[in-house]
Amino acid sequence: MRKQSLLTTFMFGSLFIFTNLAYAQNSTPEQNAEAKKNTARQVLGPALVTPPDALTDELSPDDNLPSFDEPIETSASEPIPQIKKKKEYIDPRFRPESRFIEHPNASKGLIKIDKDKIYHYRVKHTDQKNAGSFRLGTYEPLNLINPENTTLTYTSLYGDSAPILLLYDQERQFFQKFGKLAWKFGGGLYLANGHGEFAEPNPDPTAIPPEKFTLFVFPLNVGAIYRLHYFKNQWIVPYVEGGLDAFCFGETRDDDQNPSIGAKLGIAPATHFSLGGSISLGKNANSFLDLDREYGINAVYLTFEYRNYISLSDKFDFSGEALTGGITAEY
């Protein structure tokens, strides 16, 4: 009895499945969908199968579903994350060109590492307030004559000599904001050698008096100088100068007689103005850095100067032009 019941159930189930397949093949897609709905209503109930009207209106079966094959566009304004790289240090030996590198000793004055790995540091110069110069050149007081015998002149007695003028000047700079303005004082030495003249005309025009004369002069000066020094590493520095002078002089002869110009010792006042220029010999050279460190000398210049002396004396006239050259050091 039980076997017959199972056989009957199997036969009816097979017939039901066959009938549904045949109906699905002969029906439209809409009928198939409705049939699936009816089947679902039988199982789940109408409330869980029928969608709300809002959802039905929002997305109908005919609407195209989004395609995920298309690329997703992003906003260009979105920032791209940056990957921070670790700071690199380079070895200048393997670089043919110069490069800036970070170094912990830069704050201590390190400015360069050469190919031999020698460290070069910036050396701070000492304060500079003074200057001194030593020069030598030519000078002749061609207007100097004997006030008691005007036939005896500097040219007739010392014209054949080639005297050298030595000068040393010292500066105290008190203004350095726009150029350099300083008080100046100094001195020098001037020597000339010559022969006297015959008191009576000598029949031999080539004869030379045996007496020898020596004129020595100590020119002293005080004044002011302005240097057109506007830049730190200026190579050429022009300057102008003016001041008062006192020519302390004396004359001697080898036979202990009266001097030819009429005085053994004397002082003649004068004034002068000068134009000159200084050429830097290199402020950053190692030798000059050593001078600054050891002796406080900041800079060394090659100096050339033109000076014009103007006499203020009616008796002894030391007017003349002097051309000198030498060395100037700032410290």
Q: In sequence order, which residues have a C-beta less than 8 Å from that of residue 278 and are 6 or more positions away?
A: 227, 236, 237, 238, 239, 301, 302, 303, 328
Output the pTM of the full model.
Answer: 0.61
- Mean pLDDT over 137-163 rounds to 83
Among 164-178, 211-225, 275-289, 303-317, the minimum mean pLDDT is found in 275-289
Do residues 134 and 167 lie in contact, with contact meaning Cβ atoms separated by under 8 Å? yes
Name the burial class of residue 110, with classes exposed (0-12), middle (13-18) and buried (19+) by CB atoms within 10 angstroms of its CB.
middle
Task: Please tell me which residue, 194 or 286, carries the higher pLDDT value.
Answer: 194
Q: Where are the domains of the chain?
A: 2-58, 92-121, 130-330
3.30.70.20, 2.40.160.20, 3.40.50.1820, 2.30.30.40: which CATH number matches 130-330?
2.40.160.20
Banded model confidence at residue 145, pLDDT cuts 50, 70, 90: confident
Are residues 272 and 245 in contact, defined by beta-carbon separation less than 8 angstroms? Answer: yes
Give the span between the Cα atoms of 286 and 21, in whole angstroms.
107
Token pair for residue 99? 């490069």
pLDDT tens-digit map of 281-326: 876 556 666 777 777 788 899 999 999 999 999 899 999 999 999 9
User: pLDDT by residue (tens digit) across 37-73?
Assistant: 555 444 444 444 455 554 444 445 555 555 545 555 5
Share of the chain above pLDDT 90, in %: 34
| Contact of 195 with 157, CB cutoff 8 Å | yes
Distance between CA atoms of residues 82 and 71, nearest Å = 24
Distance in angstroms (rounded) separating the CA atoms of residues 284 and 292: 10
Question: Highest mean pLDDT range out of 62-76, 140-154, 254-268?
Answer: 140-154
Q: What is the mean pLDDT of the chain?
A: 75
